[in-house]
Amino acid sequence: MAKKDTFNTSLADSQATKVEPIAPEKFDRVRYAEYAAELDARSKAFWEADQGVLVYRRMRVKEVFAEDCREKQTSLAWQLGALDASMQFEADVPNFLEPWYGLGTVAAAYGFGYRWEKGQAPAVGGKFMTTADLVAAPFKPVAETEIGRHTLEMVEYFLDKTKGEIPMSYCDVQSPLNTLSNIIDSNSFYLDLMLDPDSILTAMDRTANLLIDFTEAQRRLIGDALVKPGHGFASSRMFDGLGMSDDTVTMLSDDLSFPLCVPAMQQVGNRFGGTVFHSCGNWSQKKEQIARIEGLRMADGAFSLATDPGANPTEGFADAFAGTGAVLNARIVGDVELVEEKGQQLWKPGMKLIVVTYAETPEEQAEIYRKIHEICR
- Whole-number pLDDT of residue 2: 57
Q: How far apart are the first and last CA of the chain?
A: 23
- 70 in any annotated domain: yes
Other CB atoms closer than 10 Å to residue 83's CB: what's the count?
A: 24
User: How far apart are the C-alpha atoms of 350 and 318, rounded to whole Å?
Assistant: 9
pLDDT range class, residue 3, cuts 50, 70, 90: low
CATH of the domain at 87: 3.20.20.210
- Whole-number pLDDT of residue 156: 98
What is the mean pLDDT of the segment spanning 240-259? 95
- Whole-number pLDDT of residue 12: 85
- Whole-number pLDDT of residue 20: 97
Domain hosting residue 40, numbered range: 24-375
pLDDT range class, residue 257, cuts 50, 70, 90: very high
> What's the pLDDT tens digit per position in 182-221?
999 999 999 999 999 999 999 999 999 999 999 999 999 9
- Whole-number pLDDT of residue 140: 98
User: How far apart are the C-alpha atoms of 98 and 299, rounded to whole Å?
Assistant: 19
Average pLDDT, the chain: 97
What is the mean pLDDT of the segment spanning 349-362? 97
pLDDT at 48 over 70: yes
- 2 in any annotated domain: no
The one-letter amino acid code at 105 reads T
> What's the pLDDT tens digit per position in 214-228?
999 999 999 999 999
Report percent pLDDT > 70 for the chain.
Answer: 99
Name the domain count of the chain: 1
Question: Does residue 229 have a cis peptide bond before it, meaning omega lies within 30 degrees of 0?
Answer: yes
pLDDT range class, residue 315, cuts 50, 70, 90: very high
Q: With b meaning 16 or more CB within 10 Å and e meaning fewer, what string describes 174-196?
A: bbbbbbbbbbbbeebbbebbeeb
- 14 in any annotated domain: no
pLDDT at 1 over 90: no
User: How far apart are the C-alpha atoms of 230 and 236, rounded to whole Å?
Assistant: 9
pLDDT range class, residue 356, cuts 50, 70, 90: very high
- 248 in any annotated domain: yes
pLDDT at 281 over 60: yes
- Whole-number pLDDT of residue 4: 81
What is the mean pLDDT of the segment spanning 6-15? 90
pLDDT at 29 over 70: yes
- 11 in any annotated domain: no
What is the mean pLDDT of the segment spanning 99-117? 97
Helix (H, G, I), strand (E, B) or coil at 342: helix
Helix (H, G, I), strand (E, B) or coil at 257: helix
- 17 in any annotated domain: no
- 273 in any annotated domain: yes
- 164 in any annotated domain: yes
What is the mean pLDDT of the segment spanning 156-178? 98
User: How far apart are the C-alpha atoms of 158 and 368, rounded to whole Å?
Assistant: 32
What is the mean pLDDT of the segment spanning 118-145? 96
pLDDT range class, residue 333, cuts 50, 70, 90: very high
What is the mean pLDDT of the segment spanning 340-364? 97
User: How far apart are the C-alpha atoms of 94 and 59, rounded to whole Å?
Assistant: 10
